[in-house]
Chain A
């Protein structure tokens, strides 16, 4: 080993340092700047609605049954045309997900027969206490497209009789 060898190594290292200093940084200035997520990202759940504003969730509890972390609690009640939440006879009167238990596996999404529960883009999940980690139906439901489409609402009798819509196989 020559006498100058350590010096050479030092300069080589510094070279990398200078090169990187001039490179475009990869750091995101979170929270001012947010990193976009991938199409299949699994973040906080959203309960979807149909275009007409009715809730897709029919309170079947299949998501709760599929959940390996026992994070979901569903309780169902009966729909009427006077007070309709979702198509068909049954709707979720209570729907809760405990985000501290959830492992974001997406099994609930797979189990849902109406594509009501979908794991969304939101990953900002931190809480000061355990209680606020429980998301209720109101917090999970997507906003209504317009005011007159809120649920529950009065609908024409005998129109929304089917709980499970005809669906295509998912594409992505």
Chain B
């Protein structure tokens, strides 16, 4: 523990760790010092002068270094001028006066100055009602200004910094919180100050504007309404919004969010989600979320939502009752016997997956997870468990990231690992190409596509890198699917698990394997015992298929063909997809915004989400639909209450043992303090009052004997002449069904791409942005060429879910 320092603030004795800033020390003691530019997550700059206080320090005798005593107490000497509480660190015996007349006058003066050019915009300002400047002006301002209204500086009021974030230059108080967030925390220095004096203004110097996946966070920490999102702009006043705790369903990080809802005339009087805000969980996402989580929630409200069950009659889908639809499905499932296949996506909650898996077990069918990645059995075996938190990793911990572009696949992990590296953790980034995380790595390892397993197996033998890895106290490995298919990633997982297991990096907090999955609850599906099938087309042929939350028909023409040849197809989803179009029975499911449940994050943290808006049409929760089908088959599955399913699940799945639904809702005090009256301090991130979740135990942590099965790696693809090696990669914004309905993101999603090295392009005779035809494995398509020299020559990267159905490395012809 750091050395403790005791000081007096406003007559109150406060003991805090050495190195704490006075402003933070006061906050810890419940004393508010007004701040604008200071943010507990950012380096202090002392730009706004709002935190002026009187600071006195005990006088020391020069000769002895002892305090000079006066009337039995140390003599305190105050500085002649006010000082900033946000840049001064606490010292033993310090005396701070935050409300002395001098300090109050200083604070009044600062507000008066800040407002000299501030517009009278509160009535139309999106921040009005949750604005630190409003609040602090009322609490600490002079009430009147001596400046002339007519002399206000006028600047541009509607400046799009990119298509997601708008800037009002008049409202900006030049605190640089946004710039510092981008530089220090996000590591995307794409905005900055231009001009000087009163004309100082924020500009974006990237193309496209404000090119960062964390841009939305600046609107939370901006202490005024200068930065607003185009998604919410003028959507409602903050006090009109209801807040509902939720979990982001877009990636395996599992960021805690708050859904702000309101009844809206524009939406025909329905209650709708108006914005997604981060909810503090210092163990998961701190106070941040990425832009995908913030803006890609629109699919839940789209016109394509399924509202009632349908049955195919004479080749056409017609409306049916729940009873008829589930009965038909049940009859067919029962008839199928061993030929019954369930395909579920990691978009579903733990309870849904548990019921599906139970149904498969009772009915003697197979339960597959719809994933492009394998190796999940290993993350249950030697995965990270209770007490693991990137926030507590620093010196002594090694973090290995292999075959994953975290910035694109799990942005908030990227951000937290970057922070851990800054605290001294050893970061080893292994990939066949350069990724953004390389900049913060202690070591980078480059391998050729196909050599992932070898690279990992050799890691411990690799001189300095190996030494660092072996000598560290803790180690986690995050493995992904950059350039890998199902069997490739499964082989990689096995190599990683072996490396961890052999060197004792399992079964303890901050040790173990993490999968960078494609979907939010893939880890949950693995815990439930789902398997991944490499050749789904074969698995579907002639079978009776029950698909929940997945759209294989749109993703892959081969799967579409296979499903045509299936005996019977039941599809359960929130919206109309290409797969529901070919189904024999369509079962409408509730979106995550309409129901409650739990999700398991990649760090194996189980977290609860809560209903925010009313149910669409006749839709039911997935676990309830499965239970209703099961009942027709004579199988009893809990289908009325989520917490009851969770209890059964906790009793039957080992890693969930000991968890209760209520325990997931527990919270503990967190730092920094955010939200409500403290929003001036930590930003408009919501305070966590509805649960921080709980982590699962791993087999290794439970003391079970663990043996890592060896997985054969797939045969290397050898491109012939005039062919390239094409590998799948994941992009943050793709054409997935949960992202595409958010029109705001279309510009960032773009079109189908094939990414080449400039030299490869030259030898093929193609140029940047040129449309080329791409053919592999029976797939033919068009894509635009993008060039980058961060990849190797002779390789083509093809982003997943962008129109070209690539599942594993293949040889490709580009023309």
Contact = CB atoms under 8 A, between A and B. Distances in A.
Interface of A: 58-62, 64-65, 73, 75-78, 88-90, 93-94, 113-114, 161-164, 166
B124 interface: yes
A75 B124 contact: no
Interface in B234-287: 234-237, 239-240, 264-266
B79 interface: no
A144 B784 CA distance: 53
A101 B724 CA distance: 72
B233 A62 contact: no
B266 A163 contact: no
A94 B266 contact: yes
A73 B269 CA distance: 11
B669 interface: no
Contacts of A64: 240
Contact of B149 (A61, A78, A89, A166): A166
A59 B120 CA distance: 15
Closest 5 CB pairs of A and B: A60-B123, A94-B265, A90-B124, A113-B123, A76-B234
Contact of A164 (B120, B237, B239, B264): B120
Query: Which bracket fits the contact residues of B?
Result: 20 to 34
Given A61-B240, A78-B234, A166-B149, A88 B124 contact: yes
Given A75-B265, A78-B234, A166-B149, A62 B124 contact: no
Contact of B157 (A60, A61, A161): A161
A56 to B, nearest CB: 12
21 contacts: A59-B234, A60-B123, A60-B128, A61-B237, A61-B240, A62-B123, A65-B239, A75-B265, A75-B266, A76-B236, A77-B266, A78-B233, A89-B157, A89-B158, A90-B124, A93-B266, A94-B265, A114-B123, A164-B120, A164-B121, A164-B124
Nearest to B120: A164
A18 B805 CA distance: 102
A76 B128 CA distance: 14
Given A75-B264, A89-B124, A90-B124, 5 more contacts: A65-B237, A75-B266, A163-B121, A163-B123, A164-B123
Contacts of A75: 236, 264-266
Majority secondary structure, A binding face: loop
Nearest to A89: B124
Contacts of A77: 234, 266
A108 to B, nearest CB: 13
Interface string B135-158: 000000000000001000000011
Interface in B210-253: 233-237, 239-240
Contacts of B128: 60
A89 B234 contact: yes
Nearest to A95: B265
Nearest to A78: B234
Interface string B113-136: 000000111111000100000000
A94 B262 CA distance: 14
Contacts of A65: 237, 239
Contacts of A162: 119
A168 B233 CA distance: 30
A70 to B, nearest CB: 11
